[in-house]
Amino acid sequence: MILVHICCAVDSHYFLQRLKENYPAKKIVGFFYDPNIHPYGEYRLRLLDVQKSCQKLEIELIEGEYDYKKWLDLVSGYESEPEKGARCDICFDRRLEVSAKKASELGSGFLTTTLLMSPKKSFEQLKKRGEEVCKKEAIEFIAPDFRQKGGTQEQFVTAKEQKLYHQDYCGCIYALGMQRDSQKKIADELFSPISAQILPNSIEEKLSLYNKRYEMEEKGINHKIVREKFLNYRLLYGYVQKDGSVLESYPLAYSTLKRKSTKFRIVDKVKDIYFTNREEIIIISLDYFNKIIGTNYKDIKNIIKSPPLFETELKARSKIIYNFFSLSPIIVLKNIDLNGAYQLRLNAHIYEDVREHLVTFS
């Protein structure tokens, strides 16, 4: 038997196919042990993809422990190391050590890892580490180089054909932070709104998309994953104050403010919309919000507990301002006082992003 440490489906699907061809007489068992992956939703997403890939290849899969705290302790002090540096040595060692122990426990004399398939990892570094940890368990580390002779190209063709989830960072919070810094992009993977609303291109949205995709596959529905460039949005904080007190308020999606804080007054009202004297801020009442989206929220806490869909907020915005490109702050305010000054504090990011969609063919 060969125990295969698995990191992700893009690396494992092709690797396992080749391994089966090379070792037809051996039983192959997968072991998903990757406590380095952060956040946890991303871990679930990668695991889901690996589970589906192993099912297709008829390979048994064991899930290891997600002992993230232990992993963090081990890499402590190496947070700012670059990829392929000392933190990665520790990370490989940990994952391979636990995998080697698992192999011994299962009575397997051999261990390998799908990390060997990743073009972003050093093959030699992994081989050396694998051989060292396996020596301690008196088992053999197998390091087949399937990247050679066009293997990497074939791997990507396979991943596309199989519609595998293609993550765009190695896995840990540190690599994610560095990558997003170099891309001058916020690490939106780390956002988790208190309302639990599913945000565009969030891990939760991807999980739901991949679950749907597998359902379609099982039902034989012909489908494709297409990519779309769009303007994404994340709210860091947003609230309204009056006379030093925080009011019950809710900023609609795509509300932005240049300086993160401004004073304003209500100066006009046209039908149900209150216009102000600053930064194109618009105020609407909770009743009007309920009316245009067909809900019955009693207060703002109610919205937070059971938020509308992100897309519903966009529809509400388009009913208030007839402009698809509007970035004006639109704030739902529970109690509207026409007199006096308000303070809006709002910090939001808009940025270019790419998301995946499912398209079905009849």
Residues that bind ligand SF4 (CB under 6 A): 36, 83, 87-88, 91, 170-172, 174-175
Encoded tokens for 203 = 């891990």
Instruction: State the Cα–Cα distance between residues 351 and 261, nearest whole angstrom.
Output: 20
Min dist. Cβ of residue 67 to ligand SF4 (A): 14
Shortest Å distance, C-beta 94 to ligand SF4:
9
Determine the Cα angle at 137 with ends 44 and 50, to 5°. 20
Minimum distance of ligand SF4 from residue 348's CB (angstroms): 29
Between 46 and 102, CB nearer to ligand SF4: 46
Structure tokens at 124: 């030699």
Q: Which two tokens stand for residue 320?
A: 């208030």
Dist CA 357 CA 340 (whole Å): 46
- Distance, CA of 87 to CA of 176 (rounded, Å): 14
Rounded to a whole number of angstroms, the minimum distance from the CB of residue 33 to ligand SF4 is 12
Integer Cα distance of 150 and 86 in angstroms:
29
106-110 long-range Cβ contacts below 8 angstroms, 24+ apart: 106/1, 106/3, 106/29, 107/1, 108/1, 108/2, 108/3, 108/29, 108/139, 109/1, 109/139, 109/140, 110/1, 110/2, 110/3, 110/26, 110/139, 110/140, 110/141, 110/142
Q: Which is nearer to ligand SF4, 4 or 173 (CB)?
A: 173
Question: What is the smallest separation between the CB atom of 246 and ligand SF4, expressed in angstroms?
Answer: 39
Our CB check for ligand SF4 shows the closer of 174 and 210 to be 174
Nearer to ligand SF4, 169 or 254 (CB): 169
CB of 109 to ligand SF4, least distance (A): 26
Q: Closest CB to ligand SF4 among 23 and 78?
A: 78
Strand arrangement, sheet containing 261-264:
245-246, 223-242, 342-360, 261-264
Least separation in angstroms between CB 178 and ligand SF4: 9
For the bound state, the minimum distance from the C-beta of residue 117 to ligand SF4, rounded and expressed in Å, comes to: 14
Closest CB to ligand SF4 among 91 and 142? 91
CB neighbours of 44 closer than 8 A, spacing ≥ 6? 207
The answer to whether the peptide bond before residue 39 is cis (omega within 30 degrees of 0) is yes
The least distance separating ligand SF4 from the CB of residue 181, rounded to whole angstroms, comes to 14
Closest to ligand SF4 by CB, 94 vs 163, is 94
In the structure encoding, which two tokens stand for residue 304, read together? Answer: 């937070």
Q: Which is nearer to ligand SF4, 91 or 199 (CB)?
A: 91
Q: How many CB atoms lie within 10 A of CB 356?
A: 17
